[in-house]
A = this chain, B = another copy of it.
Amino acid sequence: MDNIGEEYKHYWETNMFLQTQELDSWGLDEALSVYYDSSSPDGPTSPATSKNIVSERNRRKKLNERLFALRSVVPKISKMDKASIIKDAIEYIQHLHEEEKNIKAEIMELESEVLMMNPNYDFEQELPVLLKSKKKKTEQQLYDSFTPINFPIEILELRVTYMGEKTIVVNLKCNKRTNTMVKLCEVFESLKLKVITANITSFSGTLFKTIFIEVSFL
């Protein structure tokens, strides 16, 4: 009895790291069950007890796997204790709850702010996070999500001209899509150039942008 048990006397975490080996060593368990089956058919311990043993082993193993997985999704794990893992998970969830609460109040405030300043703003189209989550919650207690829609800049024409020794002129033509102008500005801002003057003209769905740039970088 004892020598059989000693095969499994590892620390539980080491057990987790050697799961495959454990699966191999499970062959011993079948030997064990056979041992139980053939030895004593009279006692109340032989016929179904071996089944219960392997069942219980599987249950423990599954529980440990879950616990290990739980540890992996929780940052700031203080100790490797089973109890400590659960404790850390609880604290982490509570922290996320609080943060979520604050951040949702934040969003509601910001939305009303935007709505006041611009009553024609279309939240359904551009910022559907809270609305969608409310919808889903009524349908089922499930968790919400959303996907931001981003159109790329479609450049139709790009021409760079050097005027004199310190000035560059950039001529750009592209299709007008949502936020296209914003993205263009972001590109030129990120280049940290010294823009002398810029002109943007919109005509029938096309953006024309002409930029004068001083060559001397800062």
Residues of A within 8 A of B (CB): 59, 62-63, 66-67, 69-70, 73-76, 82-83, 86-87, 89-90, 92-100, 102-107, 109-111, 113-114, 117-118, 120-121, 126-127, 129-130, 133, 141-146, 148, 178-179, 181-182, 184-186, 188-192, 194-202
Whether B143 lies near A92 (C-beta < 8 A) is yes
Q: Are A198 and B197 neighbours in the complex by a CB distance under 8 Å?
A: no
Cα of A141 to Cα of B66 in the assembled complex, Å: 24
Contact B67 A86 (CB under 8 A): yes
Q: With A103-B103, A141-B75, A143-B76 in contact, is A195–B202 under 8 Å at CB?
A: yes
Pairs A-B, 8 closest by C-beta atoms: A110-B110, A66-B86, A117-B117, A95-B143, A197-B201, A198-B200, A185-B185, A96-B96
Please give, as numbers and ranges, the residues of chain B lying within 8 Å of A142 by CB-CB distance.
Answer: 76, 95
Evaluate contact between B145 and A102: CB separation under 8 angstroms. Answer: yes
> Smallest Cβ distance from A152 to chain B, in angstroms?
14
Q: Is the CB of A127 within 8 A of B143?
A: no
Query: Is the Cβ of A106 less than 8 Å from the Cβ of B93?
Result: no
Given known contacts A99-B143, A105-B148, is B118 in contact with A90 (CB within 8 Å)? no
Which of B98, B106, B181, B199 interacts with A185 by CB under 8 Å? Answer: B181
- Chain B nearest Cβ from A73, distance in angstroms: 5
A192: B residues at CB distance < 8 A = 120
